[in-house]
């Protein structure tokens, strides 16, 4: 994991189609994070369209994007990618109910030099993308775990205005040794 800057502008983006089964999981994770998001964290829901994603993360220092993936792995498996340091494996995002997959959107933003300084992508392995609003049991079980992982990363970021102070939403976190 790359070192992250102090919390200045953090955006969480949940991607998906709420009417295509497991594809809704990204939006549902975003909603779960919104329930307890600390001050300074913006939570958004997006369809996954490339230019909309670039607009959603514009001017953000740290972006967490979560979407359903289908790579052949076990339903509910959670994958984490640092999109600034690695290309997204196209096999993870080859199935998409969006016109453009998240991987294609990220690579377009990379080519246009419009990636945020830190872009962390969580992919939750889906099983059923047919019409309907229900998640499969394995994906529903992964929803809380993915939200917890993202929230833990947010809470581990240094204090927004003074990195030598403890984090305001989690004072028990250690102070950074090299701010």
- pLDDT in the model for residue 3: 53
Q: State the Rg of the chain over Cα.
A: 16
Whether 1 is in a domain gets the answer: no
Question: Quick one: tokens of 69?
Answer: 């993936």
Whether 35 is in a domain gets the answer: yes
Report residues of the chain scoring pLDDT below 70.
1-8, 90-100, 159-179
Q: How many domains, in total, are found in the chain? A: 1
Whether 152 is in a domain gets the answer: yes
The candidate with the shortest Cα–Cα distance to 40, out of 60, 20, 22, is 60
- Tokens 């790579």: give the residue: 71
C-alpha separations of 147 from 61, 91, 115, 143 in Å: 19, 23, 22, 6
Whether 30 is in a domain gets the answer: yes
Give the CATH number of the domain where residue 148 resides: 3.40.50.1450
- pLDDT in the model for residue 163: 56
Whether 164 is in a domain gets the answer: no
Question: Quick one: tokens of 24?
Answer: 């809704």
The DSSP symbol for 136 reads P
Q: Which domain holds residue 68?
A: 10-156
Whether the pTM exceeds 0.75: the reply is yes
Whether 122 is in a domain gets the answer: yes
C-alpha separations of 71 from 39, 135, 165 in Å: 35, 17, 41
- pLDDT in the model for residue 88: 75
Whether 163 is in a domain gets the answer: no
Whether 165 is in a domain gets the answer: no
- pLDDT in the model for residue 104: 79
């Amino acid at each position: 994991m790359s070192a992250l800057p102090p919390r200045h502008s953090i955006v969480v983006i949940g991607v998906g189609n709420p009417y295509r089964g497991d594809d809704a999981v990204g939006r549902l994770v975003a909603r779960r994070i919104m329930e307890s998001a600390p001050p300074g964290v913006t939570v958004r829901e997006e369809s996954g369209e490339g230019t909309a994603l670039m607009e959603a993360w514009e001017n953000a220092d740290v972006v967490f994007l979560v979407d359903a993936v289908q790579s052949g792995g076990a339903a509910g498996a959670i994958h984490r990618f640092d999109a600034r340091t690695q290309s997204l494996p196209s096999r993870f995002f080859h199935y998409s109910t969006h016109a453009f997959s998240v991987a294609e959107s990220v690579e377009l933003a990379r080519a246009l030099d419009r990636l945020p300084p830190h872009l962390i992508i969580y992919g939750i392995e889906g099983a059923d993308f047919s019409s309907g609003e229900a998640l499969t049991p394995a994906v529903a079980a992964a929803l809380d775990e993915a939200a917890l992982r993202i929230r833990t990363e947010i809470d581990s970021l240094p204090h927004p205005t003074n990195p030598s102070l403890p984090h305001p939403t989690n004072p028990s976190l250690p102070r950074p040794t090299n701010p």
